[in-house]
Structure 1
Amino acid sequence: MRMRLTAITLDCADPMALAAFYHRATGLPVAERSDDDFAGLRAEDGLVLGFQRVEGYRPPSWPTQDVPQQLHLDFDVDDLDEAAALLVSWGAALPEAQPRSDLWRVLLDPAGHPFCLTVPRAPRES
């Protein structure tokens, strides 16, 4: 048996707002919508990045774990500083805590989910 990843879904208070943020950041089109409770972006390979409404949603409290992050997304960018500034102008937050800022930037999306920006590195040879 082989499983294929078909979707990653993030909890949030406002699915359409979070879908709009990630649409702007990734260019993935909004492909699914269910009333105001769900929105999804679909990649060319069919992978859906989904956003579902959760009543009483509490954002992760990164870098503390009072409210755990449970997962985070990583995105390759050409320039860490430029990409971070653009994403902040679109509603992301750049927390003070930046472990290994030489390798990546941690940001918080508008719903408080941490995500990382990285510069692509050459693949390791085995």
Structure 2
Amino acid sequence: MALVEAGVVVLDCAEPEQLAEFYKALLDGEETYVNANRVEITGAGGTRLALRRDVNATPPSWPRPENSLQAHLDFVVTDLDEAERRVVSLGGRPLEAKSAPGPYEERACSDPAGHSFTLRKVPAPAPKQG
């Protein structure tokens, strides 16, 4: 029997209730735990995320070096343009206008509190030959 049953990514923010609304909509999720200082969300695909109240939280400044990247999330999506439009409609914002080089198409974004995350489209596998 495993000692650790599940992991939860926790983001500190000044107003977890408001940020939870962004992530519930983005992940098609629901609140699974709420108290005065914490909201936990489980997304439709099983992603678990918690938002913890820290009245002194300051948004990360990525890509600037001061108070830079503290942590970030990657979300696998099927349509980058549609996912980015949804992020913006929910109050988030794109951080980079161009896709990063490499085998994956991806776009950097931030939530309304300034936490960065990546929308990543994994290419379809090539069909087997022979």
Secondary structure in structure 1 of the residue aligned to 2:95: coil
Q: Classify the secondary structure of the residue corresponding to 1:91.
A: coil
2:120 counterpart letter in structure 1? T
Q: List gaps (5 residues or longer) in structure 2.
A: none
Give CA-to-partner distance per residue, 1:6-65, whole Å, 9 cap, x none: 211100011011111000000121111112x21111257976310001122100001112
Instruction: Check the 8 A contact 2:109/2:118 in 1, yes or no.
Output: yes
Check conservation: 1:107, 1:115, Cα contact below 8 A: yes
Q: TM-score, normalised by structure 2?
A: 0.81
Unmatched 5+ residue regions in structure 1? Answer: none
Contact 1:6 1:47 in 2 (8 A): no
**SS, match of residue 22 in structure 1:** helix
* Residues matched between the structures, number: 123
- The 5 Å alignment of 1:1-126 reads 3-35=4-36, 37-43=37-43, 48-96=48-96, 98=98, 100=100, 103-122=105-124
The structure-2 alpha-carbon separation of the partners of 1:119 and 1:11, relative to structure 1 and needing over 3 Å to count, comes to same
The structure that has the greater radius of gyration is 2
Q: Equivalents in 2 of 1:66, 1:98: separation in Å?
A: 23
Q: 1:106 to 1:52 in 2, by over 3 A?
A: same
Rounded to whole Å, the distance in 2 between the matches of 1:44 and 1:89 is: 19
Residues 96 and 108 of structure 2 are in contact (CA less than 8 Å); yes or no, is this contact kept in structure 1? Answer: no
CA RMSD of the aligned region, Å? 2.5
Query: How big is the shift at 1:122?
Result: 4.5
Q: TM-score, normalised by structure 1?
A: 0.83
- 1:70 aligns to what SS in structure 2? coil
- Cα distance in 2 for partners of 1:25, 1:92 equals 10
Inter-partner Cα distance in structure 2 for 1:103 and 1:76:
10
> What secondary structure is seen at the aligned counterpart in 2 of 1:117?
strand
